[in-house]
Amino acid sequence: MKHSPHARHCLLLLALAACGCDGTKQPAPQGRASVATRSEPAEAHPAPNPSQGAPTLAEVREGFETRLVREEEPGGPPDDPADDPQHGGAYKLISYKSPVGELAAYVTPNPDDGDPGDGARRPAIVWITGGDCNSIGDVWTPQPRANDQSASAFRKAGVVMMFPSLRGGNDNPGRREGFLGEVDDVLAATDYLAALPYVDPKQLYLGGHSTGGTLAMLVAESDDSADGRYQAVFALGPVAAASQYGGQFIYCDPNDKQEVALRSPLFWLDGVRCPLYVFEGADGGNWQAARLMQEENKNPNVRFYPVPGHDHFSVIAPLAEMLAGQVAAGEVEVTEGMVVGLE
């Protein structure tokens, strides 16, 4: 029996919710200017049509009003790297302007500060950590290789790094939306990064792990800027649909198919215009979700790679090392052979 695109979309969402294939141990969450928050009762929304030629995620999000049904308690202010004289010099705490107001972020400082240096503009990456990706905390203290959420290889390779907090995280303004309005925060953070005098605005990258990888995919699917902001996007361990988080990290009605679909990378792959590399450890984690997206994908800009010998967490360090070298050199091209044998 053939199903209509609408019916197929609903069946995919139901299957994803049932499989629960996130497979991660995430910490509990802490307490587009045109995307508003509505408070009236939810209406029956038709699910978007995921077939080729359907509207892009940016087009569907335009003017959409999300209905949030829960919220987290406000968290505390982000850690200040200036309070750590041993490691904190790797970053400075700044704020950037997003559609909901000023949000905190960490950025590697200008390496030429206090020294004339060469005045070079450097490649830069926005990185989004896993778990509660709305909030930021210590990313400068050395972390275990088995789960290096700092992706420190990029910084060590001379790539400028930015870790943005997002709406509702830490003590930020706005409410958490879970993979929706946060897309606009990441785009705003990218624009802030591009304007720094020591950053090459033509060499911008985006990456993230787990929830951060899911959000990175949605940003890539939403970026409709004329020339595209990113040279490439790296999504490590994302899910295909927000429903796979089992109620964590989303704040809308989980039974509203349109709300969930707008937070689910699976349905918007056709809209990606820059190279988008999706990775996951082959030894556990979210590869089942990535494989489903791979089977549905018809966009040559989107590529999927299982990484043998690694799980959802151990995959970060070796991939960051491989990708950092390419980003620093100004040319990113990943092949299947490169990810085989990563240690």
30 part of a folded domain: no
> By residue range, what is the domain housing residue 274?
5-24+46-73+81-333
Q: What angle do CA 85, 87, 93 make, to 5 degrees?
A: 80
Residue 267 belongs to a domain with what CATH number? Answer: 3.40.50.1820
Q: Would you state the pLDDT for residue 53?
A: 61
142 part of a folded domain: yes
* Measured distance CA(25)–CA(302) in Å, rounded: 26
3-state secondary structure of 127: strand
Q: Which residues of the chain have pLDDT under 50?
A: 1-8, 11, 14-15, 17-51
- Looking at this protein, which amino acid is placed at residue 94? I
264 part of a folded domain: yes
pTM of the model: 0.87
Q: Would you state the pLDDT for residue 37?
A: 35
Q: Would you state the pLDDT for residue 112?
A: 76
Dig out the tokens for 146 from the structure.
């088995």
Q: Would you state the pLDDT for residue 120?
A: 87
Q: Would you state the pLDDT for residue 4?
A: 38
32 part of a folded domain: no
56 part of a folded domain: yes
Task: Report the first-to-last Cα separation within the chain, whole angstroms.
Answer: 46
Q: SS3 breakdown of the chain: % helix, strand, coil, rounded to 5?
A: 30, 20, 50
311 part of a folded domain: yes
Q: Would you state the pLDDT for residue 25?
A: 37
User: How many separate domains does the chain show?
Assistant: 1
Residue written as tokens 């019916």?
7
229 part of a folded domain: yes
Q: Would you state the pLDDT for residue 295?
A: 97
Residue written as tokens 């789960």?
147
3-state secondary structure of 219: helix
Enumerate residues 6+ apart whose C-beta is below 8 A from 255. none
Q: Would you state the pLDDT for residue 54?
A: 76
343 part of a folded domain: no
Q: Would you state the pLDDT for residue 51?
A: 44
* Measured distance CA(12)–CA(49) in Å, rounded: 12
Which three-class secondary structure string do you get for 140-176?
CCCCCHHHCCCCCHHHHCCCEEEEECCCCCCCCCCCC
Q: Would you state the pLDDT for residue 12?
A: 58
The answer to whether the beta carbons of residues 76 and 170 sit under 8 Å apart is yes
| CA distance readout (Å), 138 to 163, 181, 323, 339 | 10, 24, 22, 28
288-313 pLDDT, tens digit each: 999 999 999 999 999 999 999 999 99
* Measured distance CA(23)–CA(17) in Å, rounded: 13
